[in-house]
Every structure is written in C-alpha cells, then in structure tokens.
C-alpha cells in the first residue's frame, strides 16, 4: 500500500486511525524534524461536518501557546482550498500516553496522579482563558514525555465556551464510547451537561479531569456501570444521571487522604454550580497536596513514574542516585568551610541587587533563599497582570507567563518581581505580601519595538509530533 503524500512532508509510518482521520509519523523536509501529521480519511467529503472539525482543531491550536498543550507546527490546505487532502501538523512528543501508563500500573501513587492532574489543570487554565472548552479530557489524550512533561492533545471537538453541545444523549457501548459516530467525545469522561447537550464552560472540563484523577488513583471509573434493561452498561446516558452512583474514592483506594478525596468529589459534582468553579482553584488544592508529600519537582515525579513502570529509561535518575556516594569522602571541616563560602556568596548577591537600586528586603524569611515552595504555609497571594504579556520572575525564579488567572501563593514578606518581554525593558517591582491577603500587580510593559507584540511561544523543543500511537479522533 502506497503511503499518502503531503507537500513538504515525508511519511514514515501510520500511528493510529479512525473513521474520520489518520495520524502519521512524518518528517518535515525543510527542517528534518519529526512531526505528527493528522489527515482526513480520503472517504471524508471536504464539505462534511467532520472536515470542518479538522479546520476547527487547526484554529483552536493556533490560538493556544502553553508548554502543557501540544504545539501546532503547520497546516496544509483547508477544506475549501482545493482538492488536496486537508491536514494539520503537530509536535512529536517522545514518550508514551497516560493510557499506556495506566495499562501498565492500573493505578498510580497519589503524588504521581496529582502531579499529572496539576499539569493538565495548568493546560486547561490556559485553554479556558483563551475562551475554549476541550470536551475530551481522557487518558488517551494525555501524552507523557520522556522528561516528565505532560501534554494535552486532540482538540478535534473543542468549542468556544458557552456553545451549546450538539451531541445530546447518544447510545454508548460497554467501553463508554459512542456507538453512532466518532468525534463526539467519550461518555465515560463527559460531564452530565455535555451528555445532555447543554451549554458548556470550563467546569465541564473540570468534571472530566475529576474522572481522570479518580481513575488514576483507583484504577476504576468513579461511577458504577450498572446494567440497563438490555443488560448493557450505559455509563454516559444513565449512570451519570443517577444521584447515587458515585463510589467514594477511599472505598477503592484506602491510602488516599480524606482531604484529597474531598477535592476529587467536589470536582465530580453533577451540577456545575456545586463543583469547584475554576480549574485553577482545583490546581492550587492539588499542588498543595503534592508539595506536602514530596519536594521533588512535578516533572521529575512523572519521569520517575515512567521509569518505574519500565516505559522509559531514566539515566538522569540513576546519575542522581550515585551522587551521595561520591560526596561521602568530604570531611566535616571542609563541609563547614564550603557552607561559609555559600553564605558569603549569597551576601554578595544580595548586596549587588541592592546596588542596582532594588529595595532591600524587610523579611528574611521570604522565598528566594530556598526557592519558591509550591504551597507555603499561611501564604499571601500575588496576582499579576501585564500588557501585552510578560514572563513573571519572582526572587530570581521564572514562575509563570501572563496571561494567567491563578494568584501565586507566596510566603509572607517582601519579594522581588521582574517582568520580562523580549522587546521591552524589564520592569522590576518589590512587592510585600501578607498572609491571607492578595496583592495585584498591574504593569504595562515599556515601549514595545514598533511592531505588534507576539504571543509567547510554547516550549515545544526540536522534537515535534505525538509519541505513542494515539486515537485519531
């Protein structure tokens, strides 16, 4: 069978296929980089709703730029641009899918599950801030890169928030997949309002994320698959509409703390107004849980889980394990001398900062000395707005890129904030936060160099495409 041809790309192999589209691993001939190419099946008419779906996915991805969202690299002809088969090109992610990890491990340690959920929540926060709802958050649409990065993929059915859902109630098979057609989502992970065809907003994705987190923690879906009159299991149409079918999380995973169970259950409330209202609020709760359990960066937590499952070979972890033995010979008096040298270097650095005109700190317990904790005790909060956009650096650490809705939790005290834009002078501020209170920093970046400001690019790297074989629709 002859592989299809796409201008500027050389197909290496098919990755996955459905009734609507096919995913190929390919090489971009102009750069030599590996990508994933998603193309309509030749049997799909260019004027069909499914062809328009690929166009919507292209436009949605073009509006997004976030390290936890798969990056749009290129796009071929549109459905109305000629006879050539429409296609889009997305980054290649070297790794595996969350579905593959769950198939290997069934359920994950709470800190691993929450680390993945936090990264997905960050992605969804960006998606919602851009006015979209993903509508298909599930393990198959989550890629885990070799380095531990988490990527949300497949925006084929994403829509604008508050758009009325077109699926209404559709029959499903035993796996919770639509029996009539592809491309409408997976009822096992859909919110009740999505199944009923109501208007959707970010709370619908929050429900789906709750289902996903429950599955990661227990290895099972949260709602009993009770047999219907025909003996089938209609998770999408019946079970979610019954008030008594949520199985308490701790009945299936006894080691999960009650506080975490409470967060998950709030994400799974059937009525949108009863749920946690914003995905960033859920992310803050989950990040607090992760930081209380481990001081390891979330990406490293995920990378370690992939290594332990045998899905990637983590040479960096092995190197880290060998370091304590290499330091064991250092004599105590040398360690003490090195400690004093480190203190002296820190003092010189603080003096240099103050010489540049930055205010001196009023609180030495601020976060800079040891890095910003993910969930400090008795935190204050900083909300940052910058026009047109800026990288936010706090006490020398890059913590976010605007726009973002979530307030940043900080230890009480004075913090040095730097806002950076590639075509503007850096803006520096000293901000004092008080426990329990929120400070808003609203800054317009200085003169931008005579051309429109670009949106910040996603950290896609040179390797582009989707690593594991993932569903095409």
> In the 8-state DSSP scheme, what is residue 279?
H
Catalytic residue chosen out of the listed positions 122, 136, 154, 281: 136
d(CA 198, CA 271): 12
- State the Cα–Cα distance between residues 283 and 12, nearest whole angstrom: 38
Distance CA 22, CA 375 (A): 42
- The whole-angstrom separation of Cα 225 and Cα 406 is 36
Residue 470 is encoded by which pair of tokens? 């993932």
Rounded to whole angstroms, how far apart are CA atoms 438 and 214? 31
> Is the Cα torsion angle 102, 282, 298, 146 positive or negative in sign?
positive
Nearest to 201 by CA among 253, 276, 142, 146: 276
Q: What angle do CA 174, 114, 134 make, to 5 degrees?
A: 55
Dig out the tokens for 114 from the structure.
Answer: 């929450």
Structure tokens at 202: 């970010």
Length of the chain: 473
Phi, psi of 17 (to 5 degrees): -150, 150
From the list 282, 280, 278, the residue with the least C-alpha distance to 265 is: 282
369, two tokens: 């000395």
- Name the residue among 386, 391, 438 with its Cα closest to residue 412: 438
Q: Give yes or no: 462 in active site.
A: no
**Phi–psi pair at 176, nearest 5 degrees:** 80, 15
**3-class state of residue 227 by DSSP:** strand
The CA radius of gyration of the chain, in Å to the nearest whole number, is 24
Residues near 374 by Cβ (< 8 Å), separated by ≥ 6? 287, 288, 290, 291, 409
Token output for 209:
């994320």
- Looking at the annotation, which residues are catalytic? 136
């Amino acid at each position: 069978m002859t592989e299809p041809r796409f201008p500027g790309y050389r197909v290496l192999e098919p990755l996955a296929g459905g009734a609507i589209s096919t995913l190929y691993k390919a090489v971009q001939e102009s750069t030599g980089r590996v990508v994933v190419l998603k193309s309509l099946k030749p049997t799909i008419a260019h004027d069909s709703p499914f062809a328009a779906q690929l166009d919507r996915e292209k436009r949605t991805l073009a509006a997004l730029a976030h390290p936890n969202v798969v990056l749009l690299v290129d796009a071929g002809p549109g459905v109305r641009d000629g006879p050539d088969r429409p296609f889009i090109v997305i980054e290649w992610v070297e790794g595996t899918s969350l579905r593959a990890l769950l198939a290997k491990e069934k359920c994950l340690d709470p800190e691993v599950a929450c680390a993945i959920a936090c990264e997905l929540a960050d992605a969804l926060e960006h998606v919602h801030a851009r006015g979209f709802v993903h509508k298909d958050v599930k393990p198959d649409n989550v890629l885990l890169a070799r380095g531990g990065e988490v990527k949300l993929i497949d925006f084929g059915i994403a829509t604008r928030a508050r758009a009325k859902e077109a699926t209404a109630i559709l029959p499903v098979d035993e796996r919770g997949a639509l029996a009539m057609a592809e491309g409408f989502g997976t009822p096992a992970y859909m919110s009740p309002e999505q199944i009923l065809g109501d208007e959707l907003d970010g709370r619908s994705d929050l429900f789906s994320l709750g289902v996903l987190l429950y599955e990661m923690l227990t290895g099972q879906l949260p709602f009993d698959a009770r047999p219907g009159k025909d003996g089938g299991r209609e998770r999408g149409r019946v079970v979610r509409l019954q008030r008594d079918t949520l199985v308490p999380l701790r009945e299936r995973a006894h080691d999960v703390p009650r506080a975490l169970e409470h967060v998950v259950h709030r994400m799974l409330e059937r009525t949108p107004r009863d749920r946690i209202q914003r995905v960033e609020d859920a992310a803050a709760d989950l990040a607090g849980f992760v930081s209380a359990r481990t001081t390891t960066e979330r990406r490293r937590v995920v990378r370690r889980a992939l290594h332990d499952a045998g899905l990637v070979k983590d040479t960096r972890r092995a190197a880290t394990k060998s370091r304590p033995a290499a330091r064991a010979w250092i004599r105590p008096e040398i360690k003490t001398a090195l400690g004093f040298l480190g203190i002296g270097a820190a003092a010189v650095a603080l003096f240099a900062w103050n010489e540049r005109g930055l205010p001196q700190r009023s609180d030495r317990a601020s976060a800079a000395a040891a890095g910003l904790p993910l969930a400090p005790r008795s935190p204050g909060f900083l909300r940052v707005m910058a026009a047109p956009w800026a990288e936010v650096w706090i006490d020398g650490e890059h913590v976010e890129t605007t726009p973002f809705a979530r307030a940043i939790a900080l230890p009480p005290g004075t913090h040095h904030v730097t806002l950076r834009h590639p075509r503007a002078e850096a803006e520096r501020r000293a901000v004092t936060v008080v426990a329990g209170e929120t400070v808003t920093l609203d800054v317009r970046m200085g003169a931008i160099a005579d051309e429109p400001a670009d949106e910040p690019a996603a950290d896609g790297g040179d390797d582009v495409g989707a690593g594991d074989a993932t569903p095409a629709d």
